[in-house]
Amino acid sequence: MLASRIARPCARQYGQFIVSLRARYSSAASATEKTYEHIKVSTPRTGVALIQLHRPKALNALFTPLIGDLNSALHALDADPSIGATVLTGSEKAFAAGADILEMRDKTFADAYGNDFIESWSELYNTIRKPIISAVNGHALGGGCELAMMCDILYCSQKANFGQPEIKLGVIPGAGGSQRLTRAIGKSRAMELILTGKTFSGQDAYDWGLAARVFETSEQCVEGALNTAETIAGYSKIAVKACKEVVNKSQDLGVKEGVEFERRVFHGLFGSEDQKIGMKAFAEKRKAEWTDR
């Protein structure tokens, strides 16, 4: 989850991308009343939250205070009945250029292991029940690549820059990079990237199956992620939650056990009001009005 240092652009360059997004969604209301130091939270579409990582002078390098802000916001959005899906993005220059080396360079084994350093960085994947789409532009290196892969759907622009360059710093990925990247693109290719520290483009990420979609520009990337989030937010939250649960379970179970788990969740949904509403609306050729119960 470490990343090699990248030259830092001025805050003005970062701000131009943020300002352009805010101009597009100027009518957005805040998804939560809390103000965060290292992220920006808004609700640009009905049922959709947008989180922007905001450490402009550090290219959104990840460190514990930022992760704390992110976890706090995600838990608040997960508990908010008005939100159905979230988009996570950064700036045009960087989704997140890696983990902040200054935070960890002097840590000892006892510090890191004894205090479970970076365990909290996986809360997004382990505890958040609503879908999250990463919209990746610019650098997504080390921890930034890992954070993007933790999301349920990964969108990126063609010139996004992915990689796990930890080998260049004498360590290995520490927030799931070796596991998720290998599952997504295969052992041989992941091994090459992790052992050499080479980076790969957003187009590569799409061609290799890591990204669900690739876009020509950063603005199209964020817009595409918001469009998909809006579609998801328009469905029954009960069914959406179940969909995410069964797909994630496929990563932990064999096919036989996974199918059995899926079938049990499928059966369980027949106890929901939305199953009755959805099937009745389909039979009557009209749009369903979900109750989320």
- Residues with a catalytic annotation lie at 99, 143, 146, 166
Return the amino acid letter for 246: V
Q: What is the DSSP letter of 45?
A: E
Burial 246-283 (b: 16+ CB within 10 A, else e): beeeeeeeeeeebeebbeeeeeeeeebebbebbeeeee
Two tokens, residue 261: 């788990």
**How far, in Å, CA of 91 to CA of 16, rounded?**
9
* DSSP reduced 3-state for 255: helix
Closest by Cα among 234, 166, 239, 238 to 198 = 166
DSSP 71-115: HHHHHHHHH-TT--EEEEE--SSEEE--B-HHHHTT--HHHHHHT
**How far, in Å, CA of 283 to CA of 266, rounded?**
19
**How far, in Å, CA of 68 to CA of 93, rounded?**
23
Closest by Cα among 142, 149, 153 to 185 = 149
Return the amino acid letter for 71: N
How many residues are recorded in the chain?
Answer: 293
**How far, in Å, CA of 285 to CA of 269, rounded?**
21
* CA distance readout (Å), 217 to 102, 156, 223: 32, 9, 10
Q: What is the DSSP letter of 81?
A: T
Closest by Cα among 109, 72, 76, 95 to 146 = 95
